[in-house]
Amino acid sequence: MQLYKTLISFSVTGSLALASSLSVYQDSAVYRYVPQNIFIGFANNIKVKCKGEEIVLQTKPTCPEDARLCKERGLLKETERKLKAIQANISALNTFISLPQPNTFEAQTWIEAARKIGEEQAELSIAETGFKSELQSQIQAFRKQAPVQKARYLTQKCNTGLEVDLPYGQILFKTYYEAQLLKEQKIRVTQYLSVTNRSGIDMEAEDAMFYYRPAQQRISPIHFSPWVVGKYTPQPKRLYVKKAANRRMLSDGVIPEMATPIAEVNAAVPVAKYLSAREYRIKDLSLPSTGEPVTVEVTSWNAPLHCELRAYPYRSTMAFHVCSFQPKTQIERNSWKIKEDGEIINDHARGEYNKGMYHLYMKADLDVKIEQRPLVGKERTTGIFGSTVRKRDGYRLVLTNKSDKRKKLLLTERIPTSATEEIKVKLLHVKSENKVDYSVQKEGELEIVAVLKPHETKNIEILFEISYDKTLKIDY
């Protein structure tokens, strides 16, 4: 019984050790698997280890015929062979035409021969152009899948797990979100992970991990150093010389000026910044090196949704729908695809966190027209000796609802705000034919609520006053 348990333990341990895995970081990737033969793929700039020891790779012109990328390259080579055959025929035909002609000939025979030669030249030229175009397309398609056309092999077989280190750019991943608008003011958020393989190695990973962080992070040791205060001692001025002049001194002993030293540039791999490390896991991932993204759903959840129609007329006259919700998981990317009843209403929507909620900018409302028209301001001087200028200024908002539905519009507007006690700003009124609901926030922000009936046009007038000493000049 004890022996049976031991054998089971060895079996489980061995299967775990031989399991294939993939770890993808922002600067590199590591693929671990048990190879069936010594063929690796059409890879470049990779490091391969067996039992922790690096193995030297070799390049061969041939590759296994059952390998997918080998078949792709075979089609490319066949097109290249056909093109060379056509070009050889063109060269042979041109050589035949250039041969010396007989002194006497039958006119009809030569006319017929010239016609056939011309037809053959035209057919060969068309065929050459077609094969050139096809070959170029196949080369580009293969380059999208693999960095090189030469097959890479191990110099020795590895019966244990093989570890392949791939550089940045050969395996890439990103996340994106899809929002499905549901009934009863709810939203369904689905997060996807999109993975692209261009390494030239077709991969099958039982366990794949994706990290939004680099694999290599250089952190230098930091030790305490005291902050010393003492008597000021002027430091000697440093003199620099240009690099081109370092090999010589001027005859009068003066050292020529040197350009400011430039720090050594390290060609670091671009790394995205995130507030916290995020990671994803995919089981049984099939990732062929096709250059096409493989998309996998990560998570999905529902949340209550609150939507409103907003506009910022001082910046843009476009009204748009904004929907807010409390995310159940952290939103890591602000690019969205929005659907309603299975139809895409915005393929490039944007979102953001603000005041503890996530706000999704859904779509523009083309039925609402907004205009901002300036009001003519007047200046008057007050004070005992007329020393204070009071200038009235403002603008009028013209809102039009062109649809057959009622619209409730939340407008964010502004009046000037003063940065000094010498200039004062006062809101005089926000008025319309009917009462207007508005509030004044910090820094001159105005929140105005406008309700528009179907096909209604409403005017809202905002008037403010700026007072300042007449000796001052103001700008706003």
Report how far residue 21's alpha carbon sits from residue 314's, in angstroms, rounded to the nearest whole number.
54
142: helix, strand or coil: helix
Evaluate if residue 16 carries a pLDDT over 60. no
Evaluate if residue 322 carries a pLDDT over 70. yes
pLDDT tens string 173-225? 998 899 999 988 999 999 888 999 999 999 999 999 998 888 887 777 877 77
If one compares 441 and 240, the residue with the highest pLDDT of the two is: 441
pTM of model > 0.75: no
Q: How confident is the model at residue 160 (pLDDT cuts 50, 70, 90)?
A: confident
| pLDDT for position 385 | 56
Angle at 29 between CA 23 and CA 32, to 5 degrees: 60
Of 447, 25, 349, the closest CA to residue 212 belongs to 25
Mean pLDDT computed over 230-256: 54
Tally of CB atoms within 10 A around 220? 4
% helix, strand, coil for the chain, step of 5: 20, 40, 40
| pLDDT for position 382 | 61
pLDDT tens string 355-377? 889 999 999 999 999 999 998 76
- Provide the token pair at 434: 């009917």
| pLDDT for position 377 | 63
**Which amino acid is it at 323?**
C
Angle at 258 between CA 254 and CA 259, to 5 degrees: 160
pLDDT tens string 40-61? 999 999 999 998 899 989 999 8
Tally of CB atoms within 10 A around 180? 17
| pLDDT for position 114 | 76
Helices 68-97, 107-145: inter-axial angle, 10-degree rounding: 160
If one compares 240 and 114, the residue with the highest pLDDT of the two is: 114
Q: How confident is the model at residue 92 (pLDDT cuts 50, 70, 90)?
A: confident
% residues pLDDT > 70 (the chain): 83
Q: How confident is the model at residue 228 (pLDDT cuts 50, 70, 90)?
A: low
If one compares 5 and 342, the residue with the highest pLDDT of the two is: 342
φ and ψ at residue 41, rounded to 5 degrees: 150, -165
pLDDT tens string 402-449? 999 999 999 999 999 988 888 899 999 999 988 889 999 888 999 999
Average pLDDT of the chain is: 83
